[in-house]
Structure 1
Amino acid sequence: MKKQYRLMILALTLLSLWGCSDDDSPRVELFDVNVVALYPEDFSSDQAEGVTLKLVNNATGDQQEKISGADGRATFAGLVPGTYQLTASRFLNAQEASTLTGSSSEINLNYLDNNLLLSAATGQDALSIRLSGSISGSLVIRQVYYSGSKTPENTNYFFDQFVEIYNNSSESIALDGLMISNVEGPSGQINPNTQPSPFAKDQEHVYISTAWRIPGTGSDHMLAPFTSVVIAQQGINHRSEEANPNSPVNLSNADFELFVTGSQRDIDAPNVPNMEMIYHPFNATYSLVTVFGPGTIIWRTDDFAALERAPIPDTSPTFPQVVKVPVANVIDAVEALRSATDGAFKRVPAQLDAGFTFVSNTYTGESIVRKSTTVDGNIVMKDTNNSSEDFEIKSTPAPKSF
């Protein structure tokens, strides 16, 4: 009897194991997605050939890169359900741009979706994406030092911030009237309740919280080919004992500084010309930008006062508003965020900057600097309108060091 009982238990155990075999376990259904890249609507052709498309799984980091064919189509195979980042880019040289637009100006085309939900159901139909672009500019933002530094006493120091603007062309450029602005919005998940900028959905404008202008009457400040100007927060030697001996920079030779008119605490360096303060309502003391990563644009306008204002949601009626800058006015833009995981906090429209860059931490003394190559003996900055590809971290900022 005991032997029969043991045989019965063994049989039940085997049946149980068979019932739990891998054949009955849930399976993830893999699927393919076809993406069709389209040119902007005002181009003479619709399907965009030769577009570089990159699809990144937000959960795993797995990525695929494809090039679109003559029909604009690229296929991503073996995907699992989830959210993805889809980026697309295409550079048009002068001849290609002339054929498609009638203008011979070089154009950078881009597309970005940071939160694309894909599944077997959504993969049944081709996903059409329309590229947007901007003319490849002669002036580019070469370097932004925003992270700040630590003092010998281990306190935070942020007065040594600067922006460097480079002439990426073979012709001299008049800087008179050139504007530089900080883009409104947080740089990432700084606090648990931090939310992305409410203005980021508007891809036709950049929403700015500051506006500074290079003085001049038209040709007072000419920038020679393949040279740069440095705009300092404070144009002093920040490495001095009176400032911060640990600072990486001496900005006493900066070309311009951002002195806040009326401030009782800001430093007006006597040997560095001041930028014209056009709009600066959020800080009456200093011209600092966030050490977590600013969005920065250089741009022009003939009538700043005519630009539309926008209230920041959930603020009082008397709270300062931000200014809407049309993307057509922007010459160059750079998006810096807090970290690699903060892409949802992008503020700059994708057609101006399809990516973002970042430093390792705050107060590290690091800057972001544009990659470059040498062409016919000249230093040419990489400019694809994608900061993820165009920039790298510089451990020690060095203004005008190419």
Structure 2
Amino acid sequence: MNALLRTPLLYLCLLITGAVFAGCDSNPSGVEPVDITVNLAFSEGYDSAASAGTRVTLTNISSQETFEAEVTEEGQASFQDVPAGDYNVSAVLTLDRQTVFELTGNYPDKDELSFNGTVSDVRINQNTEPLTVELTAGRLGDLVIKQIYYAGSDIIEGAGFRDQYLSIYNNSNRDINLDGLYVMGVHGNRTPDGENSQYLTEDGQFDWNQSVGMPDSVNANEDFLYAKYIYQIPEDGTPDILPPGESVVIAQNALNHKQPYVNAEGDTVSAGDPSLTVDLSGADYEVYLADQIDDPQPSDLDNPNVPNLRSIFIFGDDFILDPLGRDAYALFRTDTPASDFEAYAEPTERDVTENTTLYPQIPTDWIVDAVETQPAPTDDQIPRKLQNRLDAGYTFVPGDFYSSQSVIRLLSKDQEDRSILEDTNNSEENFTFLEKATPRAMPPQTANTPTGTQRQRLRTKRERAISLDTFESRWAPRVNR
């Protein structure tokens, strides 16, 4: 080919290449963006005008890109040019006491009343009809879950899951007696594409209405939670008073995990990198099961200086939080003895025998606070366990399991006598994460931003984390069941 022919051909190729790349830059997915309308509806006696100004957020599940719009007086939020994909839709509205009075004729108990609504895992494309989100008044408690360290630390260089903890905060302006307070993990279906779909709800969660022996007169899915484990702060005759603005730490093992220790089998255990784990020797409570079960974790040692929680319903062989983030957590109070808690099998269990696990049924009216967590990356989401009025969102650590990260509630405002933490019953709005879990950390005022290196982890971690799925729940021997 001579030079005269080569030059025009080269020019033509460059033009074609440029056009291709220009087209890719303008629409990388090859799918036209869409417009979508979100309608808001109240679950109780408020008209659509009351929702004006509500912030509605679309969050792309894979990329975590967000789109926001405000609701008009007609109760609608309009979004333009939204990339097609799978989204979570959330809405948050906060009304002050006077506004609530003007709308309803009644004053709420609190200075503010928060409403939340969520629709999870919605496919948005050219065929998507307008969406409807129902706003439900949230339950605002005086005690809140402040921090959850479920991820644990590196299983080789850190402490694995033996250094897990959660903390509880007094968000009120009065002293609170913690005696008798229950801490629970919430049980539910954790498989996004669950088998036995005839026993699941449309959201993929267990349909507890179909559990063997469930009375027809109850709304088993909406009015109750089902426990994976339950522990109780003991009532020992001396009130455990938590002042306003203070917190308590509940440890799986109240040890200084940064230092070597001798476990129950006589082995000396050390963290290769002590900076990855935490010192829990100063925890306020711990869970000790070695005197109650046959095969406890070797790390389950009793710190005589730290009170033990009373075991009600045990999961596995220690106070184990799911490192993958597939749990939900709740605090509750009741005068009903634990021995009288109703309990039911999973609805997929059709042949219930004396060996079938029955999960305690906890009325949502007993709940003081609840928090939903999800795995990271967030396209590994599992069916939600909490009703919107308890938690309309979820939180997660971006570094995933064994990352040394924790989730922590955000600071709302500082007052002279205490800090007030965010509590609108929407963990997506109320929580952020700590790069390194710190048991008594001050809550940040703004959300932290993940870095690009936080997803690095050992290949062995997933295998070790999933092995926890073999653990089962059972009643503690001291509960007369």
User: Which amino acid counterpart does residue 109 of structure 2 have in structure 1?
Assistant: S
Find the aligned partners of 2:385 and 2:114 in 1 and give their Cα distance.
19
**Matched residue SS, 1:136:** coil
Would the alpha carbon gap of residues 275 and 96 (structure 1) be closer, same or farther in structure 2, given more than 3 Å must change?
farther
Runs (5+) with no aligned partner, structure 1: 1-21
Range moving further from structure 2, 177-186 or 225-234: 177-186
Range moving further from structure 2, 382-391 or 154-163: 154-163
Is 1:292 the counterpart of 2:324? The answer is yes
**Matched residue SS, 1:150:** coil
**Matched residue SS, 2:98:** helix
Q: Is the 1:257–1:272 contact (alpha carbons within 8 Å) kept by the matching residues of 2?
A: yes
| % same residue | 29
Q: Which residue of 2 aligns with 1:384?
A: 424
Would the alpha carbon gap of residues 250 and 327 (structure 1) be closer, same or farther in structure 2, given more than 3 Å must change?
same
Q: Which residue of 2 aligns with 1:342?
A: 380
Would the alpha carbon gap of residues 399 and 109 (structure 1) be closer, same or farther in structure 2, given more than 3 Å must change?
same
Is 1:353 the counterpart of 2:359? The answer is no
Q: Is the 1:98–1:104 contact (alpha carbons within 8 Å) kept by the matching residues of 2?
A: no
Range moving further from structure 2, 312-321 or 250-259: 312-321
Residue number among 303, 311, 328 corresponding to 1:277 in the alignment = 311
Find the aligned partners of 2:83 and 2:150 in 1 and give their Cα distance.
39
Q: Which residue of 2 aligns with 1:329?
A: 366
- Max radius of gyration: which structure? 1
Runs (5+) with no aligned partner, structure 2: 1-22, 24-29, 209-219, 262-268, 443-481
Residue number among 144, 148, 154 corresponding to 1:150 in the alignment = 154
**CA deviation vs aligned residue, 1:329-372 (integer Å, no higher than 9, x gap):** 22211222221223343222222222222221222222111121
Q: Which residue of 1 aligns with 2:3?
A: none
TM-score of the two chains, using structure 1 as the length reference: 0.80
Is 1:172 the counterpart of 2:210? The answer is no
Range moving further from structure 2, 165-174 or 92-101: 92-101
**Matched residue SS, 1:273:** coil
**Offset at residue 29 of structure 1 (A):** 7.2
Find the aligned partners of 2:247 and 2:77 in 1 and give their Cα distance.
40
Residue number among 414, 421, 429 corresponding to 1:375 in the alignment = 414
Find the aligned partners of 1:132 and 1:92 in 2 and give their Cα distance.
13
**Matched residue SS, 2:180:** coil
User: Which amino acid counterpart does residue 129 of structure 1 have in structure 2?
Assistant: V
Would the alpha carbon gap of residues 94 and 31 (structure 1) be closer, same or farther in structure 2, given more than 3 Å must change?
same
Find the aligned partners of 2:373 and 2:407 in 1 and give their Cα distance.
8
Q: Which residue of 2 aligns with 1:114?
A: 120
**Matched residue SS, 1:131:** strand
**Offset at residue 240 of structure 1 (A):** 2.2
Residue number among 255, 258, 263 corresponding to 2:287 in the alignment = 258
Find the aligned partners of 1:53 and 1:310 in 2 and give their Cα distance.
37
**Offset at residue 278 of structure 1 (A):** 1.7
**Matched residue SS, 2:56:** strand
Q: Is the 1:187–1:337 contact (alpha carbons within 8 Å) kept by the matching residues of 2?
A: no
Q: How does 1:96-115 map to 2 (within 5 A)?
A: 96-100=99-103, 102=106, 103-105=108-110, 106-115=112-121
Residue number among 399, 405, 417 corresponding to 1:366 in the alignment = 405
Would the alpha carbon gap of residues 82 and 237 (structure 1) be closer, same or farther in structure 2, given more than 3 Å must change?
closer
Range moving further from structure 2, 196-205 or 338-347: 196-205
The RMSD of aligned alpha carbons is 3.3
User: Which amino acid counterpart does residue 404 of structure 2 have in structure 1?
Assistant: G
User: Which amino acid counterpart does residue 388 of structure 2 have in structure 1?
Assistant: A
Would the alpha carbon gap of residues 191 and 72 (structure 1) be closer, same or farther in structure 2, given more than 3 Å must change?
closer
Would the alpha carbon gap of residues 237 and 49 (structure 1) be closer, same or farther in structure 2, given more than 3 Å must change?
same
Q: Which residue of 2 aligns with 1:209?
A: 228
**CA deviation vs aligned residue, 1:34-70 (integer Å, no higher than 9, x gap):** 33212222x3545422221112455776542111122
**Offset at residue 156 of structure 1 (A):** 5.8
